[in-house]
Amino acid sequence: MDQAIFENGVKEVQLLPAYDDEHEGVVVEMDTLMDSNDFNVILRYSLSQWKLQGKKGVWLKLPIELVNLVEVAVKEGFLYHHAEPHYLMLVYWIPDTLSTIPANATHRVRIGAIIMNDKRELLVVQEKYGCFKGTGIWKIPTGIVEEGEDIFSGVIREVKEETGIDAEFLDVVAFRQTHKYFFGKSELFFLCMLRPLSFDIQKQDSEIEAVQWMPIVEYASQSFAKDSIFKYVNDICLAKVDKHYTGFTQLPITSFFNDKVSYLYVNKHDLNM
């Protein structure tokens, strides 16, 4: 390991433990407590070495327990990249050329569940919090897809949590991309069609004010703009009742590089599957 002698109390300076990434950069994942002055010396030395080696991006992951090192890193020129509750990722771009540091996650993923019973009734809720609070509007159940959760699983979970209804995922019938939705971030909202497997409502008290099966005509009679998503939920409902609307259904696919399975959503009908 590279070493150097410094005069300010630190006898031997090693490079920070780092591994190479696929883009000619290095990744440092700090995991032991360190005095911020010691860290400063080692960080400076490491950066100088990486510069000589022609490295590009330097990633620095600091667990929240090492919050004392954040200020040092920023003063050496690091910028924030992203954060999760218990860590902060910083990044330093060494070359004089334009940074090709990849962007942070930009989108939250939310789902909405269109569930009809065979009486042409739609499962709808009124929410206790958020924008629709107090508007009297009945809307389809919606929720945030959790980290690592598939869309087709998330929508089933949210419906069960909010309404007590068990349901089967059919397809994604539409999606909406909205910008500057929260903290300047964007949102992808997937409208999913589900088939109910149970019908007795059990309301979640913490977030939901009311739940009911509502005739589609009644849902459609609420006062929405003609170009609102509510109008399209209604149109798609009716097209689905008439069995002539095809959305995207999930197919398991494997990665080119490993055995990891992920899901591709396609128009299976048009692929004759």
Distance of CA 230 to the CA centre of its chain: 24
Please report the sign of the dihedral spanned by the C-alpha atoms of residue 38, residue 39, residue 45, residue 49.
positive
Of residues 112 and 196, the one with the C-beta less far from a copy of itself: 112
Binding residue (CB under 8 A) for a copy of itself from 14, 48, 106, 117? 106
Q: Map the footprint of a copy of itself across residues 197-216, applying CB under 8 A.
A: 206
Name the one range near a copy of itself by CB under 8 A: 10-18, 68-76, 114-122, 210-218.
68-76
Q: Map the footprint of a copy of itself across residues 133-192, applying CB under 8 A.
A: 133, 137, 144-148, 150-151, 173-180, 182-186, 188
Helical spans, DSSP H, in 95-227: 151-163, 216-220
Distance of CA 71 to the CA centre of its chain: 28
Of residues 109 and 201, the one with the C-beta less far from a copy of itself: 109
- Three-state secondary structure call for residue 41: helix
Name the one range near a copy of itself by CB under 8 A: 43-51, 118-126, 156-164, 257-265.
257-265
Task: State yes or no: residue 84 binds a copy of itself (CB under 8 A).
Answer: yes
Name the one range near a copy of itself by CB under 8 A: 3-11, 12-20, 107-115, 212-220.
107-115
Task: State yes or no: residue 265 binds a copy of itself (CB under 8 A).
Answer: yes
Q: How far is CA 197 from CA 162, 237, 244, in A?
A: 15, 18, 22
Provide the token pair at 87. Answer: 């860590």
Of 122, 175, 169, 112, the C-alpha closest to 144 is: 112
Partnered with residue 215 across adjacent β-strands are 121
Binding residue (CB under 8 A) for a copy of itself from 4, 34, 70, 201? 70
Binding residue (CB under 8 A) for a copy of itself from 51, 53, 67, 210? 67
